[in-house]
A and B are shown apart, each in its own frame.
Chain A
Amino acid sequence: GAGVSQSPRYKVAKRGQDVALRCDPISGHVSLFWYQQALGQGPEFLTYFQNEAQLDKSGLPSDRFFAERPEGSVSTLKIQRTQQEDSAVYLCASSLLTGISNQPQHFGDGTRLSIL
């Protein structure tokens, strides 16, 4: 079956440009997560949606980062006025239920963002 799909797979942008990263979760999955993974590090939580509601955005590093999931399925992570430190792999994950600690999360393969 179809897993979590992220696009683009790779994105190169010049410093100061805006970028938009897309995540298509597994159909029917209520929860959607965004993580940021720097080179050589484990993923770090950015934000979390339950359907269309953004319930936790405590991990977003600055107000340049914005995420939305308007219809409770596809999500977009937008980064405005990109900076070199934004270079990382951005991972999206979805899970069937929310608030349940034994639900596995299913990850996409990420978008590798490089800021020149």
Chain B
Amino acid sequence: DAKTTQPNSMESNEEEPVHLPCNHSTISGTDYIHWYRQLPSQGPEYVIHGLTSNVNNRMASLAIAEDRKSSTLILHRATLRDAAVYYCILNSVANSKLTFGKGITLSVRP
């Protein structure tokens, strides 16, 4: 499986936008970029996914670089509830299982 690289941690202020980066330089043409997050003592929660074009949903936006070697998860207004570990995962057509890394731990200051 192609690998993703994320910073270990990031801090943000409540009600400000947050940009969480992810590098995936060995991404293949069939790999979708998925983001999940995991709040303390809960299972992972799907956030968003995309292939080539930028994507928006009620939770977040996903900005994908033109060469697809990196992407950014954007939380438009961070809340305290957004404090979690965020995982950037590549998922190809032939491989439905998710390969998690360590993710990035987001802290939100009131």
Q: Mark B41-73, 1 if CB is under 8 A from A, else 0.
A: 111111001010000000000000000000000
Flag if B96 contacts A44 (CB, 8 Å).
no
15 residue pairs bridging A and B, Cβ less than 8 Å apart: A33-B96, A35-B98, A42-B85, A56-B97, A101-B94, A101-B96, A102-B49, A102-B91, A103-B96, A105-B44, A105-B46, A105-B98, A107-B43, A107-B45, A108-B43
Number of interface residues of B (CB under 8 A): 27
How long is the Cα–Cα vector from A110 to B44 in the complex, in angstroms?
Answer: 10
Flag if B96 contacts A107 (CB, 8 Å).
no
Name the CB-closest residue of A to B87. A42
Which stretch from B14-22, B74-82, B99-107 is at the chain A interface? B99-107
The secondary-structure label for the interface of chain B is loop
Q: Mark B12-44, 1 if CB is under 8 A from A, else 0.
A: 000000000000000000111010000001111
Point out residues on B near A: beta carbons under 8 Å.
Answer: 30-32, 34, 41-46, 49, 51, 85, 87, 91-103
- A43 CB contact (under 8 Å) in B44, B92, B94, B96: B44
Number of interface residues of A (CB under 8 A): 28
Flag if B92 contacts A101 (CB, 8 Å).
yes
Q: A4-B43, A104-B46 known; A41 and B102 CB under 8 Å?
A: yes
Q: A104-B49, A109-B43 known; A48 and B102 CB under 8 Å?
A: no
A56 to chain B, nearest CB (A): 7
